[in-house]
Amino acid sequence: MRDFADEDLDAERAADKRQRDVDDLQNEVAGNETGRISRFLSAEDDRSVEGKRRKREKQEAADRRLMDLMKDPEYAALHHDLGDKLRDAETGADETIAAMQAHLRAIEAEIADIEARAAKGPDGAPVFRTAHGRVVHADGEELPPEIAAGIIWPDNAPSAEDYFAARAERDSAVAKLNEWQSYRNDVLGGIRHRYDDKENPMTKDDLKDALDQIETARPLEATLNTDMAQETKPLAAPQAFPSFS
């Protein structure tokens, strides 16, 4: 008949085994040698000792392959040049995008302020008066004369021209921002992915093409009431708004 001492010993052994299992699993995940056969991770698992060894050998082979290519002075010069220009282009694009996003937020705030200061129609929606006396909704639709005649105009009511100019500026800013984000993510991001892929190093032609793409695919900077460079090419036309002539 088992006594309490035997049960306590069994419980202690079970606790020791659980702790040993936990320790072994952590060691296997960490890639630490324990002197025992792996019990939790298969040899195919990248986290196992064997998997980490394969990964290390693969990385070392890739490093050797790139080092062999870098022995060619022309290749090395192109590789270093691309690394420098890509880094500068990424930094410049990030700064430009941040400036454009700030500019867009300022335009949105301006539009919200214009709508808040605008006269209101019978339904409470903002309405605007053109320089020629026409009264229009925010979508440009003209109010019937009998309704327009009853509008109460605040002293600081913004004009229709001011409102639609701000909206056109917002649409243009969104188009420019989308263009730069596409350049940053698709063009520069794609080049970065290839440049960092040591298992499949870029060829000389790849490096030359990437250097050319960084320059030719780059959108021209636009004037955003910041210190950004003067725009020198037309951008996508903003959404058409009503003509008030």
Q: What is the pLDDT of residue 199?
A: 85
What is the predicted pLDDT for the residue at 4? Answer: 54
Question: Which value, to the nearest 10 degrees, does the dihedral of the CA atoms of residues 87, 88, 91, 96 take?
Answer: -140
- CA 187/CA 165 separation, integer angstroms: 32
Q: Which residues contact 44 (CB under 8 A, 6 or more apart)?
A: 51
List the beta strands (DSSP E) in 33-148: 119-120, 126-129, 135-137
Which residue do the tokens 């020629």 mark? 132
- Alpha carbon distance 187, 196 (integer Å): 14
Joined together, the tokens standing for residue 55 give 């990964």
Q: What is the structure's pLDDT at 122? A: 94
At 169, which amino acid appears?
Answer: E
Closest CA to 187 of 93, 99, 97, 84: 93
Task: State the Cα–Cα distance between residues 20 and 146, nearest whole angstrom.
Answer: 88
Which pTM does this prediction carry?
A: 0.67
**CA nearest 133: which of 159, 110, 163, 99?**
159
SS3 46: coil
Residue 99's nearest CA partner among 180, 42, 35 is 180
159: DSSP letter? B
pLDDT in single tens digits along all 245 residues of the chain: 556 555 656 667 667 667 776 666 566 665 566 555 555 555 565 555 666 666 675 666 666 777 878 899 999 999 999 999 999 999 999 999 999 999 999 999 999 999 999 999 999 999 999 999 999 999 999 999 999 999 999 999 999 999 999 999 999 999 999 999 999 999 999 999 999 988 889 999 999 999 999 999 999 875 554 443 333 333 333 344 566 55
